[in-house]
Amino acid sequence: MSIQHNLSEIHQQIADCCQQTNRTLGSVKLLAVSKTKSLAAIEEAIQAGQQAFGENYVQEGVEKIQYFQAKNVNLEWHFIGPLQSNKSRLVAEHFDWIETVDRLKIAARLSQQRPTALAPLNVLIQINISAETSKSGIAANELLPLAEKIVALPNLRLRGLMAIPQDSDDPAVQQQAFSRMQQLFRQLQLALPEQQIDTLSLGMSGDMAMAIKCGSTQVRIGTAIFGARN
């Protein structure tokens, strides 16, 4: 199936999920996860109207960003992989969003390295919601202290939360993690009423419907758009 076809299927599924859960059409943004995929594949998605892309690897992401910048294509790039501090400058200088902030040290570096000519870097804090040792992210009880410190950094803009819940086909297991994220997101909004906390990044190709049911405002979809990664 073509990328264009896949994108329109996913838009339809998102619209169906919104309708079933009484959510406003357009309240869920689609981030196309293009890691390991070619420039040609991304170009096809752009032709089909896709504007926001997610990348996991700094170098690969920066090359893609620069390629499309040189062609004057206006896109929005999200860094969604684990970030080592020695690569933070590249993220600060090239991306629009980072969704995986999980410690103050990285946030402080990103703020310091963000060129002031650019808009502030949009930040999501990653929560290790299923408490898996293999995954990055902070524990729920660390959220508010970290969020308050991030808000004080001048060149960042805290926008919300991201999580990658434990992989499960069991709707009850999925729902438990997603509902907890929804609660934390509300807590964060209440704790920081002056901030624009509007983004809950939850849901991938396998669990999008449950994520939307639980208030996700952004799903991150790779495989269902571009096909399997090898």
Ligand X SMILES: *Cc1c(COP(=O)(O)O)cnc(C)c1O
Amino acid in position 4: Q
Residue 148, Cβ neighbours under 10 Å: how many?
A: 12
Task: Tell which one of 17, 107, 204, 214 touches ligand X (CB under 6 A).
Answer: 204
Which residues, numbered 89-148, are part of the site for ligand X (CB under 6 A)?
none
Q: Within 13 Å of residue 74, how many CA atoms lie on the same side as its CB?
A: 0
The one among 58, 80, 124, 125 contacting ligand X by CB under 6 A: 80
Total number of residues binding ligand X (CB under 6 A)? 13
Taking contact as CB under 6 A, which single stretch among the options 60-68, 89-97, 153-161, 203-211 is the one that binds ligand X? Answer: 203-211
Which range in 59-67, 177-185, 188-196, 219-227 contacts ligand X by CB under 6 A? 219-227
> Of 154-173, which residues contact ligand X (CB under 6 A)?
164
Closest separation between CB of residue 159 and ligand X, Å?
Answer: 16
Tell me which stretch binds ligand X (CB under 6 A): 45-53, 103-111, 152-160, 221-229.
Answer: 221-229
Distance (Å, whole) CA 116 – CA 52 = 22
Per-residue H/E/C for 8-52: HHHHHHHHHHHHHCCCCCCCCEEEEECCCCCHHHHHHHHHCCCCE
| Interface stretch with ligand X, choices 65-73, 136-144, 180-188, 215-223 (CB under 6 A) | 215-223
d(CA 7, CA 44): 10
Residue type for position 177? A
Q: Which residues bind ligand X (CB under 6 A)?
A: 33, 35, 56, 80, 164, 204-206, 220-224
